[in-house]
Amino acid sequence: MKKLNAKRLAALAMTLVMLLGVLTACGDKADTNNGSGDGEGFPTMTIQIAHVNPTTDDDQYNKLATLFAEKVTAATDGAVTFEICGNSELGGEADVLTGFDLGTHQMGIITNGSYGNLYGPSLVVELPFIFKDNETAWNFLDGDIMKEVTDGLYDTLGYKVLAWGEGGFRNILSQKPIRTPADLKGMKIRVPGMEMFMTTFQTIGAAPSALDFNETFTAVQQHLMDGLELPIASAYTGSYYEICDYYDMTGHFYNAISLSCSKSFWESLSPELQEIFLTAAKEAGAAAHLAADGRGRYALQDGRWRLHHHRRCGRGCIPGGLRARVRGLS
């Protein structure tokens, strides 16, 4: 009997060690003490916001997280503070969503494409060439269809989308210019690990690879990959102009990013705090839209890339073969 108890104690100790390892990433796990804080009755808490991009002032992921954090902290008189954990410090987006499920992560900047892997209706935003410009995309994200999608995410998977930010249109970076779809034939292109992305580039004739984003810069630099595709602001803040001479403005996908949290965390907040979070998120999302758009324009004018502008003509430009493949996705 003593031997059995010892094993149980050892197992318990190992479990505690593993939990402590998770909770100490990016500093200690967020403190959600419900005691009274310095604000007017607000609990004192420090919340982590995870994202995969650089933690630079001009990065659109970091901008959305930072603007939101500043607004909430001001509205709660300093009772609620935040720790921004970028550069995939708390894992990739799939890891963050798993953390939402397990209760080890509270908030994060999540692309809509990551939701599309888990919840089919989210893919409506991921259709190739569906938006003709940023304003059309923003209006769609703020419309009734996406409200149904975000409600479904919450009810079905337990993920709360507080607001949408600006990811921007995705374009192709490479060592050679892309003038026609034929130029992509056989090219090894890094894309996110989503069926819609893989299907689109396979149909065009490229050889897409869902390489981990943290490994992409080195892979392209060492010519293990021929190129990749990213929004202009992400490509610029990631310094991809150092290894890719050409940036072709294909605008094949729109990259919608969200400020999200877990259902359990959301429901742990008081109604008053929920209202503060929603207001701050929407204001931060609107400001991030404009900031990212401006950053993209600056990057285009910087002269570090040889640019080629393609005509962006909306969903009517989807090739027939690709339309058939898209219809087959579920």
In the chain, % of residues over pLDDT 90: 57
Task: Work out the burial of residue 60: count CB atoms within 10 Å of its CB; fewer than 13 is exposed, 13-18 middle, 19 or more buried.
Answer: buried
Q: Which pLDDT does position 173 carry in this prediction?
A: 93
Q: Going by C-beta distance under 8 Å and a sequence separation of 6 or more, which residues neighbour residue 2?
A: none
Q: CB atoms < 10 A from the CB of 239, how many?
A: 11
State the pLDDT at residue 324: 35
* Pairwise pLDDT comparison (33 vs 36), residue with the higher score: 33
Domains of the chain by start residue, with CATH: 31-327 (3.40.190.170)
Residue that has been written with the tokens 């009810």 in this structure:
155
Most confident segment among 76-85, 129-138, 162-171 = 76-85
Q: Are the beta carbons of 93 and 114 closer than 8 angstroms?
A: yes
- To which residue do tokens 């293990």 refer? 224
Give the predicted TM-score (pTM) of the model.
Answer: 0.77
Q: Do 233 and 299 form a contact (C-beta atoms < 8 A)?
A: yes
Q: Which residues contact 106 (CB under 8 A, 6 or more apart)?
A: 30, 32, 47, 48, 49, 100, 261, 262, 265
**Most confidently modeled of 43-47, 129-133, 315-319?**
43-47
Measured distance CA(276)–CA(278) in Å, rounded:
6
Characterize 277-311 residue by residue with b for buried, 16 or more Cβ atoms within 10 angstroms of its Cβ, and e for exposed.
beebbbebbbbbbebbbebbeebbeeebbeeeebe
For residue 170, what are the β-bridge partners?
231, 253
Q: Are 58 and 237 in contact (CB under 8 A)?
A: yes
SS3 at position 162: strand
- pLDDT tens digits, one per residue of 214-244: 899 999 999 999 999 998 888 888 889 899 9
Q: Over the stretch 277-306, which tens digit does the pLDDT of each residue have?
A: 999 999 999 887 776 554 455 455 555 545
Distance CA 163, CA 280 (A): 9
pLDDT band at 29 (very low <50, low <70, confident <90, very high): low
Residue 167's pLDDT is what?
A: 85
